[in-house]
A and B are shown apart, each in its own frame.
Chain A
Amino acid sequence: MDENFKNFNKFKKRIWFDILIQCICFGLAAGLSAVIAVLLPCKLYGVKLLWVYYVLIALGGFVLGGGIAFLFLRTNDNKIAKRLDKELKLAERVQTAGVYGNLQGEMLDLQRVDANNALGRFPVKKLHFKNIAATILSAVIAAGCVIAAPVMATCIKPVLASPETELPPEEPPRQVTDWEWAALDELINYVKASKKADAVAKTGMVLELEGLRTVLMDGVSQSSLSMFVQNTVSNIRNAVKDANERDITEAQKELNSEEENYVISKLYEIFSLTKPGGDEGGDSENPDSGDKEDPDNPDNPDNPKWEVNVNDVPFYDPEKGYVKLGDIREEYYERVQSAFDEGAISREEWEYIMITYFADLSNKE
């Protein structure tokens, strides 16, 4: 740039800096207002959004608001020259120098020097910050949003949420009891030591059982526990099926299948899950099990030990969500028991309720 435009460039930098500040303020105000605009109805209607969405909304609003502000506020040398002439009362010196900036001539050179000297008489701060009221307002809005967002996130109740649209509360984690861990380990060791199944079938089953054990160590909910067990059962079946497809004797195939059925039944039994197709957990072909007189056998309805400690396991109340202790739960448990005693519900129904809602098997030990 020509030496004659040195002072002009000083003012130009200052004006662009002002524009940048304004765009940032307008962008912040737009982005944070957008977050508030989304957060408020979400909170009022009880809709939950991931925090990432709020970040994306804020970023989008910032870019959009700042971009629109830039479109309106952007300037060029001619506009800057006009503004300088007007604000500093330079009698069109700067714009003349700008318009004729590319032309050569003695008079034009004189004019440029005159314009540069005239600009040099003013400090850069003499130039007013344009749109100062709007910029301050947008900064205040942005600051207000920053304060309001966390307050709204914590304080606003979902007063407009309808029961139909209310999401069920998050399911609490299902604690795998010590007894269940011990039973699972015992089952794994049993399979490893099994003399019925051949090595391939055993390896497949052991791998799946150990996989289940690993998954359960991360913590699961009741529903996901059920799902993992089902998956493990399915995988065990596939593993044994693959083993039986090898060139082995029919007798060995039968033994493999027997062991498979035992393991699956035991697995359902350990986690107190109902075997699909009405085949209940615990009804295995294990020679050690199936004793109806066994006090641990849940098939025996007269077994008093089948009662559960209702305060140790989560309980889902449709009105209050998951609760762990309380009179309601006790009352509900007693109602189920009395319904079973009176014969109002079948054993299967009773068992299903017990497993689903009061599935604490710790006293099985």
Chain B
Amino acid sequence: MDNRAQAENFSRSVAKIKDEIKKDLVGQEDIVNNVIIAIIAGGNVLLEGVPGVGKTRLVRTLGKALKLPFSRIQFTPDLMPSDVTGTNIIEKNAEGKMNTVFQKGPIFANLVLADEINRATPKTQSAMLEVMQEHRVTVANKTYFIDEPFFVLATQNPIEQDGTYPLPEAQMDRFMFKLLVGFPSVKELADIVNMTQITMEETANAVVDGATILEMRELAKSVPVVPDVLYYAMRLVARTHPELADSGETAKKYVKYGCSPRAGQALITAAKVRALIDGRFNVSYEDIDALAYPVLRHRMKVNYTAINEKLTVDDVIAKLIAENAKEKGTGKLDAKPEKPVEAVTSANAEQTVATAEASAETAATDGNAAATSPADVKKKKKFGKKN
């Protein structure tokens, strides 16, 4: 399939996912859009909102629409890391001998709903670090790969802070987006009530599979970004750092600490997906500005001056965007434009998934400590060809 067909397929798939989600979820279009962007871009999402606004329902509906194995972990203070990742258990084999077998935890799914993630202890939260970033789990010195595509969609409640453990910065940084799920409007509320009078079950149908998601992700990677836009995005991230000399007045006045380089990566990756969804084949300044809020809001911390002036993180981000507007078109990155990566065909994507699945399977069953990632498989193949 060529890029044109892939692009058409991309738009069609996104439209289908949205349509299916609309069947079970009223309103929240921005949230749905951003969740879809994050999923295609391969990022994790933290949904923050008061109880009952549809966070869990959104993730469950998404799981159905994407035709992907879905698991839900309800985070509680007594939840242990092994409850998330899985653990080795002693099992008798056919010959009657005892041996240890790895029992996969609920994290071994493509779509994981980490419900009320901030209710678990930091120890359990930390169990999510490796899997969220590297899509693999290490238990007793053995590494197990998670099937691609893999996403964690976590929810947390901004109120009722008693008995909760705020997510550490390292954990927060692993979420591509933090989305604030707001209260629906009166009309939406009425629609929700009417809809749930008929059934509480999700009625969404599976319209997109994992291979398609991977194909979409590969296509998005090939979207070109001009140096000017790239510079603009990187300047926005740099502006969140008050310690930098050229960070600007807003950061120096309102920001306690700024975003990590992952923010820059997330900004560009997500912007490429947003551009494709928007029917464009290039990233624009508008993409960067729109995605700055979900990408930056959980990665930076405002100081007491901002709190004193009753400024939220989003208010500070708005100021940073306004301040950064002067960087548009300045193009201070002297880097010559490099050819963006070419999108892999659907056949390649399927092969990648199959290879990853096979390697994960091998690692899990053989208990081979020498873990093999999809990237490693590719490298080995290339190396083998050379030899």
Residues of A within 8 A of B (CB): 82, 86, 91-93, 95-97, 99-100, 103-111, 114-115
Contact = CB atoms under 8 A, between A and B. Distances in A.
A96 B278 CA distance: 16
Given A91-B286, A105-B342, A108-B340, A96 B224 contact: yes
B286 A107 contact: no
B4 A103 contact: no
**Chain A CB within 10 A, most for which of B225, B226, B284:** B226
A331 B342 CA distance: 107
B224 A110 contact: no
A78 B204 CA distance: 47
Contact of B281 (A99, A103, A107): A107
A1 B266 CA distance: 36
B342 A100 contact: no
Contact of A93 (B225, B282, B337, B343): B282
Contact of B337 (A82, A91, A100, A109): A100
B222 interface: yes
30 contacts: A82-B228, A82-B329, A91-B278, A91-B280, A92-B282, A92-B285, A93-B282, A95-B228, A96-B226, A96-B281, A96-B282, A99-B226, A100-B226, A100-B337, A103-B337, A103-B339, A105-B222, A105-B339, A105-B342, A106-B2, A106-B4, A106-B343, A107-B219, A107-B281, A108-B224, A108-B340, A109-B3, A110-B3, A111-B281, A114-B282
Given A105-B339, A114-B282, 17 more contacts: A91-B280, A91-B282, A91-B284, A91-B285, A95-B226, A95-B228, A96-B224, A97-B282, A99-B224, A100-B224, A100-B337, A105-B340, A106-B3, A107-B219, A107-B343, A110-B281, A115-B282
B342 A111 contact: no
B226 A107 contact: no
From DSSP, what is the main secondary structure of chain A's interface residues? helix
Contacts of A99: 224, 226-227, 337
Interface in B202-225: 219, 222-225
B283 interface: yes
Interface in B257-289: 278, 280-287
Contacts of B225: 96
Contacts of A115: 282
B62 interface: no
B343 A92 contact: no
Contacts of B283: 92, 96
A218 to B, nearest CB: 70
A86 to B, nearest CB: 8
Closest 3 interchain pairs by CB?
A91-B284, A106-B3, A96-B282
Contacts of A97: 282
B40 interface: no
Given A114-B280, A114-B281, A108 B339 contact: yes
B7 interface: yes
A100 B228 CA distance: 13
A92 B222 contact: no
Contacts of B223: 107, 111
A356 B322 CA distance: 87
B342 A107 contact: yes
B145 to A, nearest CB: 29
B325 to A, nearest CB: 12
A110 to B, nearest CB: 5
Interface string B249-261: 0000000000000
B2 A111 contact: no
Contacts of A96: 224-226, 281-283
B179 interface: no
A199 to B, nearest CB: 92
Interface string B315-332: 000000000000001000
A115 B224 CA distance: 13
B229 interface: yes
A93 B281 CA distance: 8
Nearest to B282: A96
Nearest to A89: B286
Interface string B188-208: 000000000000000000000
Contacts of A92: 226, 228-229, 282-285
Contacts of A114: 280-282
A110 B223 CA distance: 10
Contacts of A100: 224, 226, 337, 339
